[in-house]
Each structure stands twice: as C-alpha cells, then as structure tokens.
Structure 1
Amino acid sequence: MILILSAHFDQSTNDVIDWLCYYKAPFVRVDGESYLNSELNFKVMLSDNGIELSLGNILLNNLTSVWNRRWIPYNFSFNDELKKFEDVDIGVLANIKNNVIIEMRKSCKLLFDFLQTKNIKSLPFFNAIAIDKVTVLKTAASVGLKIPESIICNNKNDVLRFYEKHKKIITKPLGEAMSFSGKSHNYINKTVIIEECFLEQIEERFFPSLFQKYIEKEIEIRSFFIEGKFYSMAIFSQLDKKTSVDFRNYNDLHPNRNIPFKLPEEVEKRIDNLMSILNLNTGSVDIILTPDNDFVFLEVNPIGQFGMTSYPCNYYLEKEIAKSLIVNFNEQ
C-alpha cells in the first residue's frame, strides 16, 4: 500500500495518482487539510510494548512506500477556530496561535518518525524537508559547484559594503517563498533586486536577511532530480523584464520559452554528490547558466514543482514518480 500525503489543491498529486491507477497499484491519499481540520482520526498509543500509530483507517504497518507531497500547507491557519477567542487580548491570541502551530508540527513529526522506523521507501526522505538554504549552499560549494556570494546580516553598513563590492545584489527569503492574502492585496516574499535608493531608506538595524550577488544569466535551468536521474529544462526568462530576476514572476500573457536541456556530465555528478550528502533522493534544482558559460547553483527544493518541467519537455515525470513509489515495479 502506498501512502500519499498531499494537499487537496495539488494537481501534480492527481496526475501521479492517474498513473498509479493505470498500474493498478493500491494507494491511499491523506490531505493535510483533513488532518488540520480534525476530519481524520489520528491516534498514537504508547505502552511498555512500544508505540502504535493509526491515521484514519490506514494500517500503517502494511505500507510499502510514502510520498510526502506538500502535506501541510505552508500558509495554514486556524482563524475560524480562533474566532472563539475574539474577546481575548490580541497578544494572547497570537501566542495561542503559535502554540497550536507548534503542537501541530510536533504531531506531524511523530508520524514521520514512526514511518521512518518502519524501513519503508519514501519520496523525499523523511528528514529532507528540514534542510535550509545556507546548509545547501555551503555543501554545494564543498562539492565543487559555483554558488552566488551571499551574506546574511541585520545592519545597514554590512549591506552597503556588500553592495559596493558587487554593484548589483538581490535579496530572497531564507526559507521558502510564501504568499499571503489580505482584504485587498496579495503579498509574496520573492527574489528582488536591491536598488541604491532602497539602501538609502532602510533602518540601521533590521531583521536578519539574505542578500546575494546578482548573477547575470544566459538562461535559467530547472532540473528535477529523482533517484540519480536528471530531467532538466532551459527557461529563457532573461528575455522578459518581468521574469528576468526570477522566472516565478510569471508572465501569463507572454510565457517564457521552455525547452529540454542536458546538463554537462560533470555538473550532474556534482549535484548528485550534493544530493547524496544532503540525503535527498528527489528535488527540484535551480541553476543559472551565465554568459561566460558558468553553471551557478542556486538552491534545491525537496518538494518543488515538477509539472512545470514535465509538461513542456514531455518528460512524463508523473509516470516516473508513480513507478518509483511502486516497490519492485515491473513495466508491463
């Protein structure tokens, strides 16, 4: 039995499930929303005999593989539940919300730790999602990959010196990019170029932030890695001002041109080595090819999008993931 941990809105999960149905592979899907809203029975029993864990009617001891596909939404909230506390001080309300989030994450960790002890296959590995960008960049450099020079700081003088050195810099989140919706606006912490006028206005001290040297690009490359195989795509994002800094600033009216791409063997070997050290068996890798023909590694996301690479390049990655989840798969 294959366990799929996903979110109800994730189309890529639906596409992989189509292939599992084609291969007649038994599976069960558990969406994070059902777990967060307590629509699903979750029980952990501890005794002198050990630990037993159940998730709905799923017999976890019978699982053969697990696919963790963005199970808990990064922007989840308990706003409806918190309406019960409307008369509570806003500071206390924030503490209640933070405490509930911490408790929820602890219960999720219980599930992942339990599954890890069962010695079953998982995509990605259960500990993979906890990696951070700094560790990834440091490790990438150690295996011989080129990376952007980076600084994490909280004061204006350090940023100014970094800017003077490189003349063109960007800032990006230390974690994953997140979006927020307000009453009249949407917000996203994305990659942006730091202008000199902005530097003149910032406070002397601010929250620790990541800044990087801006890398000029010939093309941007998104490569989906799964169990030693690379499926790469060239993105001509530099041809559009809207997407030139980050292709994720999508231009829906004039989409970027995307074509299949083959990374040099030496670059693939180094990324494969990186993934092995990071204990990652799958992930979406972002790379820049510079006008000087250098390949600069940016980051890897263990649960990154793959549909955007699969469809334009006819890679059928959904099929490859399904085959990987089927233990002892044998093509009919």
Structure 2
Amino acid sequence: MILIISENKENTTNEVIKYLLAMNKKFIRVHEDEIFEIQTDQKRLLLVSHRNKFYIDEISSVWYRNGGLNFRRLRYENESINLNMNEYQHWLEDYVRKTLESKRHINKESNSDVNKLLVLEQAKKAGLDVPDYFLADNTDEVELNKTIIKTIGGNPRAENIIKDSTGMMYTSVVKEPQRGHFFITFFQEKIEKDFEIRSFYLNGKVWSTAIFSQNDEQTKIDFRKYNHKKPNRNVPYQLPKDIEEKIHQLMLSLDLNCGSLDLIKSQHKFYFLEVNAIGQFLGHSIICNYSLEKEIANYL
C-alpha cells in the first residue's frame, strides 16, 4: 500500500495518482485537514481519521508531498495527567512518523524545510559554485545594483496580506541604501546570467530545464514573477555530468532523495542558488516531456 501525504486538491499529486490508478496500485491519500487517532488492533498500530483507516505495517512506500500527519491527543480532567500523557503521546507519534519514513519513500516530513544557510555550506563542500553571500543588519557595506536580497527561508509566503490570498516574497536588487539597522538579512552577489536552470532530482537522476528569463524585465531577477502574457522560453537542458554528480553529493549530504534545484548559467560557470525539497516541477515536466509524474509513480 502506498501512502501519499498531500494538501487538498494539490494538482501535482493528482497527476501522480492518475498513473497509480492506471497501474492498478493501491494507495491512501492523506489531506492536511485529517486528524488521526493512534489505536491498536490485534497488537498492530492503526491510524484512524474521518477519511482513512490503515495499519502502519501495511504501508510499503510513502510520498511526502506537503502537509503532514496530524494527531488527536486524549484529554483528561486532571491537568497533571494531561501533561504526562502529552509527553507519552508525543513519543508514540514520533515513532509512527519515523517508522513510515523508514519505508521506501520520496521525501520526509521531518526534513522538508531545509535551512538555506546550511544548504549553501554543503553545496560549497560538494564542489558547486555559489555566489558570494553574507548576512548583515544594515546596508553600509552593500554594493548597490550589484547585490540582491533574498529570504533566509526556502520559499516563504506572506499569508493573508489580502483576504483569501498569499504573497510570494521575491528576490530583488538592492538599488538604494536603507537607513539604520534592521533584522539580519541575507545578501548575495548578483550574477549576470546567460539563463536560469531548474533541475528536478529523484534518487540520483537529474532532469533539467533551461529558462530564458533574462530578456524580460519582469522575470530577469526572479523568474517566478511569471509573465503570463509573454512566458519565458523553457527547453530541455543537459547539465554537465560533473555538475549532476555534485548535485547528487549535495542531496546525499542533506538526506534528500527528491527536490527541485535552481542554478544560473553564467559564461562557463554554473552557480547553485537553492534547493526546495517540495518544489514545483509539473510545468517543466509537461513542457520538456519528462513525465516526472510517471517517474514518481514508478518509484512508489
């Protein structure tokens, strides 16, 4: 039995499930609004929600897409008992998560949020070129128009800026100094690019897409500022084998067996920018005819 942990109506998950259905494979999809109770039945651990019910020992493979496993904890009238029971229940929940992650899997809930600073350090250890970067709480030593500012987090969104909407925090160029001090911020050298590269990694194999974003003012700094009226040209791309091997070593060091990576091609160099363990890849899969959804289904 395949366990898929995903958000409601997440389209990439839907496309992978289409292949699983075609292959006549049994699966369970867990949504983010499900709350499980941990029960026992015939000396076996059983997870039960309003939608699903399964023994953890019948799960053969797990795909953590996003969301997570949520558990309902027992409550008692005595608060002292509640404090003790919460600790005990925590360890039982931890056991369930770790047992599922020990099975054949694509990604893990426990390390889905990677630390960009640690990732960049590991990327350099793996031999990848990384644009110079530093942390600062002021712009006194920032070289204007030659430095970009990014979030330390991987892919944050400002939730509820407008009702029922989210706001993406994009990469931007520092064009003027900022007075005074502010919270420690991530600054990075602005690389003049030939084009950007989005690579999808799965268990040692890499599929890459060249994104020609530099000729559009809207997308030249951050291609995620999509120009829907005049989209960037995207084409299949083959990274040099030594770069793919360095990516493989990086992912091993991060204990990630799947993820989307962003790089920049600048003259003869390939600069690594970041990795998103739960990154989007469906669009590039369709454009480049990679059938990554099928690759995931086959692995599961």
Report the TM-score when normalising by structure 1: 0.76
Counterpart Cα distance in 2 of 1:170 and 1:152: 12
* Matched positions, count: 274
Name the residue aligned to 1:277: 253
Q: Does 1:173 align with 2:155?
A: no
Report the TM-score when normalising by structure 2: 0.84
Name the residue aligned to 2:264: 288
Structure 2 matches for 1:162-311, cutoff 5 A? 162-163=142-143, 168-175=146-153, 176-183=155-162, 187-196=167-176, 199-200=177-178, 202=179, 204-290=180-266, 292-311=267-286
Q: Is this contact kept in 1: 2:218–2:226, CA < 8 A?
A: yes
**In the TM superposition, what is the alpha-carbon distance from 1:55 to its structure 2 partner?**
3.9
Name the residue aligned to 1:116: 98
Q: Is this contact kept in 1: 2:157–2:166, CA < 8 A?
A: no
Deviation string 1:267-308 (CA, Å, 9 cap, x unpaired) is: 011111111111111100100001x22100001111111102
Out of 66, 80, 97, the position equivalent to 1:70 is 66
Percent same amino acid at aligned positions? 36
**In the TM superposition, what is the alpha-carbon distance from 1:323 to its structure 2 partner?**
0.4
Q: Is this contact kept in 2: 1:125–1:281, CA < 8 A?
A: no
Deviation string 1:136-194 (CA, Å, 9 cap, x unpaired) is: 1001011110001111222x2xx321326xx5111111112314333478633221111
- Alpha carbons of structure 1 residues 289 and 272: separation in structure 2 relative to 1, 3 Å: same
Q: Is this contact kept in 1: 2:197–2:210, CA < 8 A?
A: yes
Whichever residue aligns with residue 145 of structure 1, its letter is L
Secondary structure of the 1:162 match is coil
Q: Is this contact kept in 2: 1:222–1:287, CA < 8 A?
A: yes
Counterpart Cα distance in 1 of 2:286 and 2:122: 31
Q: Is this contact kept in 1: 2:148–2:188, CA < 8 A?
A: yes
Counterpart Cα distance in 2 of 1:55 and 1:161: 56
Q: Is this contact kept in 2: 1:116–1:126, CA < 8 A?
A: no
Counterpart Cα distance in 2 of 1:186 and 1:228: 34
Counterpart Cα distance in 1 of 2:92 and 2:140: 44
- Alpha carbons of structure 1 residues 169 and 113: separation in structure 2 relative to 1, 3 Å: farther
- Alpha carbons of structure 1 residues 149 and 194: separation in structure 2 relative to 1, 3 Å: same
Moved over 3 A (4+): 50-53, 109-113, 181-187
Whichever residue aligns with residue 192 of structure 1, its letter is S
Whichever residue aligns with residue 61 of structure 2, its letter is S
Whichever residue aligns with residue 168 of structure 2, its letter is I
Deviation string 1:36-73 (CA, Å, 9 cap, x unpaired) is: xxxx443367xxxx99462421222210011111115x
Secondary structure of the 1:210 match is strand
Counterpart Cα distance in 2 of 1:44 and 1:141: 46
Q: Does 1:137 align with 2:120?
A: yes
**In the TM superposition, what is the alpha-carbon distance from 1:20 to its structure 2 partner?**
0.3
Q: Is this contact kept in 1: 2:199–2:207, CA < 8 A?
A: yes
Whichever residue aligns with residue 294 of structure 1, its letter is K
Out of 48, 54, 60, the position equivalent to 2:47 is 54
Whichever residue aligns with residue 43 of structure 1, its letter is I
Counterpart Cα distance in 2 of 1:129 and 1:186: 20
Counterpart Cα distance in 1 of 2:226 and 2:171: 13
Task: Provide the aligned C-alpha RMSD in A.
Answer: 2.4
Unaligned runs of 5+ in 1: 73-102, 326-332
Q: Is this contact kept in 2: 1:125–1:279, CA < 8 A?
A: no
